[in-house]
Structure 1
Amino acid sequence: MARALEEGEHFSLGSIMEETTLSKDLILEILSWLPVKSLLRFTSVSEWFQRLISDPTFVKLHLQRASKHSNFLIILKRQDDRLVVSPCSMLCLLQSNHDHNFLRVPERFLERYQGLSSCNGLVCVANNFSSGDVDSLKHICSFTIWNPATRTKFQVPRLTFRTIEVDDVSFGFAYDDRSDTYKVMTIISYLHPTCQVQSCNEVKIYTISSNDGWRTMEKFPANTSFVPDYGKYFNGNIIWLTTEESDQSQYTFNDFVVVFFDLRTEIFNKVLLPQNLEGVDANINIPEIMVLDDFVSLVFKDFATNTFVVWQMKNFGNRDSWTLLVNIDVDVLQTEPVPFLKPLCIQDRFLVFYQLTIENQMHVIWYDMREGEVARRRISTEVFSVWVEDYIPSLQSLGA
């Protein structure tokens, strides 16, 4: 039993550790459930704590525990052009106005900002820009892997191309559980030298902790014109929604395909959208792919019926497993005439949305899928643009 403090003696966690009867396994178990902020403070208590908390086995255990909770990274572009992020949980969204908790993305990460993707607490900040004079203009892709919780970063080697050749670039960042490493990939779309239309593409991948540099993979197996700025991470895959062909002016849902890149095998695969949606006009009802409740999900607003629709692929890679989750009357959501509205997550029986209003405010909307009831809360003001990524505060680090 630890002794009582004598008069004039101060509390010391280190001294208590020396006299405690708790086993180290039990201490490890307790610490693995604590938030990152608390653990970082413990690293200055003693050398033993510092070694434990930085040990790769403990880092993985802490990540496994943290991933059981719903956490997000809110990314806002302010009206003064500042880019800020805020890690938050569903609980903090319910409790208070969140404006004071935003962390500014360091300016040194933002040369010509393209997008941001998150995986296991690590955030990949991508930049695309041109550099040089008229005769030697180059297109440069740079990537910084940043942990907002620990403030550590890792710089990926840059990619450089002749500017005249590059039409567009998309990227992906994810964890490969087979090789226990992280990978950054890019899809580079090239212009045809005479007719100025996309005729080919190149896929490159960089494996963190390897000495292989950027490797060239098989070509992207679909139209790169519709590929978003970055792919979504799902269960060892990076996924995109695009079309099969690029020479059409009108598209229906028949023309779209989910492309996924398996990080373990480094092979592309494809799956079509639900058969029930064949013929639906995709020029008006613009489809989007995301991950909701651990399922790849197709979301879109059906303007013909004024409903918000969510389908989920219950068996990943199997077209026949697409299942309609909800078909919500937009008027029930109490949104504005032309809102920016996206699903955030599914929490129990609630489908949670986030919205950017015409007053430049970010709102969160809870829709009760069982009762059909709606609640909303303002999260932030003076917002120029907003998006949200799944995020797990973690101790993950890729080096200096």
Structure 2
Amino acid sequence: MKRVKRSKQPDERKVNDPFTNLANDMIIEILMKLPPRSIARLRFGSEHVSSIILDKKFIQWYITRSSTQPRYLISLYRGGDMQMQHFQSLSQDHPYNQGMVSYKMDPELLYEFTPPVRGLICGRDFNKMIVGNPSTGQFVSLPRVKTRRQDILSVFGYDPVNDVYKVLCMTVVLKRSHMSRNGNAVPWEDIVSEEHQVITLGAKEKWRMIECKYPHRHNSGCKGIYKDGFMYYLATYQKKGSLMSFDLSSEEFNVTKLPEDQMLPQSGELVNHAGKITIAHQAYNRNVDLWVLEDANKEVWSNFFVVPPLSIDFFGRFRDLVFMGILGTGEMIFASRSSPPFFFVCFDPKSKKVRETAIHGIGRDSRHNIQIFFDHVETCMVLPKVC
């Protein structure tokens, strides 16, 4: 068998690479002005540029710059013959239609995405999960979650100490016992704990079972959020409503009791309000009730409500607005999905100022599943392949 001699000629990409004649500072200045998808393409055209793009310092610089220009992120799933997931990133100041990034889906899966963290997003369909960069269209599949349970909560976050992204998954565990009824032992199933699993985004990571010293159950339908190295979600602990937190660095849980307020519903939504974890709920009278965690150690909460503005449609009719979230500026987002175009109403509770934003091209179709995320920060990060 003949041995194939390797050519001693230098790599053609290196020889014909025009970027080697430019100073790194100039290359970085050029890259910082480009959108993530253009940067992703440049990575394959120049080995020298690729080394800069993959450098963690450059990725951090890009995220830092992007954080000063937060955006809306629209996730649009189109059904039908060809399953396709579309992502559109829009400026919050000038939300005109811009380039849409598409990702071809498994026709048997419908991913529900958690809020993006530092430019990345995580989607799950039962025990199948993906993590991706919606600005470049690169997605990687994670190993399947080890469970047969149906009730699963997944939260996506970033560990700033170890500079890694992690996913936390929790599944319900039933404990079979017996209870006495009329002198007879009756079989009984009680939800006493959950399986807690963590995976670190990387090439060789697998799901790891971790211990939680607070037996609890997450609220069904609750969506967790990430903030400053911690994940938060609503749960029931010792038969009381609680706010659970998970430290992504130490991988330890903590619990904070919710205020004993009869008006605080189990269906509240967690939001970041002025840098504080807040439970928001829109009541039947349209008002949005906000419970703000002022001090987690002392379990101190404050409560107030906001009366949303009324909006008028194209036919001059008043319409109620649905609470969607809170921007980093403190503005509250409301929307009406009754008819296209899709409306955002930004309302400042302090100044009472209202501004409307219309996003065209998003219709209400039974085959479409739309998710809207706020304060999205774009990144040019290239994801590692997960085994």
Q: Could you tell me which of 324, 333, 357 is aligned with 1:353? A: 333
Structure 2 distance, partners of 1:327, 1:212, is 44
Q: Distance in 1 between matches of 2:383 and 2:44?
A: 21
Q: Is the 8 A contact 1:233 1:239 kept in 2?
A: yes
Paired letter, 1:186: C
1:288 aligns with 2:274: no
More helix by share: 1
Q: 1:330 to 1:56 in 2, by over 3 A?
A: closer
Q: 1:24 to 1:54 in 2, by over 3 A?
A: same
Q: Deviation at 1:179?
A: 1.7
Matched, 1:297 2:278: yes
Indicate how the Cα distance of structure 1 residues 370 and 112 shifts in structure 2: closer, same or farther if over 3 A, else same. Answer: closer
Find the aligned partners of 1:30 and 1:318 in 2 and give their Cα distance: 49
Contact 1:171–1:184 (8 Å) recurs in 2:
yes
Pick the aligned partner of 2:196 from 190, 200, 203.
203
> Over residues 81-103 of structure 1, what are the superposed CA-to-partner deviations in whole Å (9 max), with x where a residue is unaligned?
8653322220232xx3x4x7544
Specify every segment of 5 or more residues in structure 2 that has no aligned partner in the other structure, as ranges: 1-15, 177-186
Percent of residue pairs identical: 18
Describe how 1:209-358 pairs up with structure 2 within 5 A. Answer: 209=202, 211=204, 213-219=206-212, 221=214, 223-224=216-217, 226-228=219-221, 230-245=223-238, 255-273=240-258, 275=259, 278-280=261-263, 282=265, 286-303=267-284, 306-314=286-294, 319-320=299-300, 322-323=301-302, 327-330=305-308, 332=310, 339-347=321-329, 351-358=331-338
Q: CA deviation at 1:398?
A: 2.8
Task: Count matched residues.
Answer: 349
**57-66 or 167-176, which deviates more:** 57-66
Hey, what does 2:180 align to over in structure 1?
none
SS at match of 1:183: strand
- Supply the AA of the counterpart residue of 2:157: A
Q: What is the RMSD computed on CA atoms of the aligned residues?
A: 3.4
- TM superposition shift of 1:299: 1.2
Following superposition, the deviation at residue 367 of structure 1 comes to 1.0
Structure 1 residues 334, 220: closer, same or farther in 2, change over 3 A?
farther
Question: Which of 153, 158, 179 is the aligned partner of 2:139?
Answer: 153
CA displacement at 1:44 relative to structure 2 = 5.6
Q: Aligned to 1:393, what secondary structure does the other structure show?
A: coil
Deviations 1:87-138 (A, max 9, x none): 2220232xx3x4x75444421386253444422222212121xxxxxxxxxx
- Letter of the 1:86 counterpart: Q
> Contact 1:222/1:242 (CA < 8 Å) preserved in 2?
no
**Aligned with 2:217: secondary structure?**
coil
Aligned to 2:342: 362
Q: Deviations over 1:6-52 (max 9, x none)?
A: xxxxxxx976973x7xx533543453354323433544664322322
What does 1:1-400 correspond to in 2, within 5 Å?
Answer: 18=21, 23-25=23-25, 27-29=27-29, 31-43=31-43, 46-77=46-77, 83-93=85-95, 96=96, 98=97, 101-108=99-106, 111-128=109-126, 141-161=127-147, 163=148, 166-192=149-175, 195=188, 197-209=190-202, 211=204, 213-219=206-212, 221=214, 223-224=216-217, 226-228=219-221, 230-245=223-238, 255-273=240-258, 275=259, 278-280=261-263, 282=265, 286-303=267-284, 306-314=286-294, 319-320=299-300, 322-323=301-302, 327-330=305-308, 332=310, 339-347=321-329, 351-359=331-339, 362-379=342-359, 380-382=362-364, 385-389=369-373, 390-400=375-385
Question: When the two structures are superposed, what TM-score results if normalisation uses the length of structure 1?
Answer: 0.74
How far apart in 2 are the matches of 1:40 and 1:203? 35
Going from structure 1 to structure 2, the CA distance change for 1:373 and 1:208 (only over 3 Å counts) comes to closer
Unaligned runs of 5+ in 1: 1-12, 129-140, 247-254
Q: Which amino acid aligns with 1:64?
A: T
Question: Following the alignment from structure 1 to structure 2, what is the Cα–Cα distance between the partners of residues 16 and 281?
Answer: 59
